Structure 1
């Protein structure tokens, strides 16, 4: 039985509606899939960027922390150097004050004469020469002569040898020296510096550890003691 035109049109419309519905459903499916893939890719990109940002700031934080440590170390070193310089300055001031007081030693004749005896005798023992030359301040020549007379028998008794001691009056020790003597061997190549200043310097070097402890206390970082 042949279909009428109305039935054909009706079937065509029905097929078109079906195709349109299929197309809409397919489009919705594609949109949903695209939305899902978009969200997945967006999430991946966001996560990737978030990790990159976190890594960047972690790196920056480590750099800042390292810079802080370096800066703190530099500041501590600068502070330590300032403390050490202040301590050295204090010791230098103390030694300068001691040097200024040396001039008072020679003002006491009895004390100074006894000191000269010790300085001369010590120099003679260090050289152990048959002939020596002594240089001193011009104002000390008479005291040195008297000291030589006192020390000659003491030296001879100790080393069992005689000694010839000459005072070099042509070459005195500098006038800014507070006192004491310089003793030379016969050819002048060996010198024992026993001026008050040289003895102070020697004593300061030998006693520097004790001086530092007395002024600043025991160093807590020092592991070994002499």
Structure 2
């Protein structure tokens, strides 16, 4: 078997059938002063490969991750999302978001701001959200305002009567409170048509229901950690 002047093994006897260089070079194993380029595999003399320009003084690239294995950033992200919530040894609070026809009827009877434009959704699957303390914002996501609520009610079909920063849950161990942040349509608890006082923390118990917007109800459950 012949070799071209660039070190490729070739079946042709005149020009390399790999790169087109003239045949007549030596086998890489017979070239004592040349090393194979780690980038393209061609015998190279000196720091820079004459074939691809690779700089042999650079450190080798990191090994490629195994198929299906997360990279460093993904592993860090997964580690963050899997970190258990800080609940001081208390239960894990879970919020279930539903479209509530009873709350919708009460709000329609009140005819508050925006409620004349609120329509009850034809389909709204329940959403179950484990809560991570100590503070959990209820509202709507807004990239321009830097709002990223833990209970994001901007998911379609969205309740247009929910304020961007509507209410805040505060978790400390087994204790849970809700505070209305001055929302347009207020925050009610357990089928009451009367909104709670804004800027005032109201204690909650396992099974309590928070009503916001025109038809959204959030049921709180304390589950074993």
Give TM-score, length-normalised by structure 1. Answer: 0.25
Task: Give the number of the structure whose residues are more often helix, by fraction.
Answer: 1
Between structure 1 and structure 2, the one with the greater Rg is 1
Task: Give the number of the structure whose residues are more often strand, by fraction.
Answer: 2
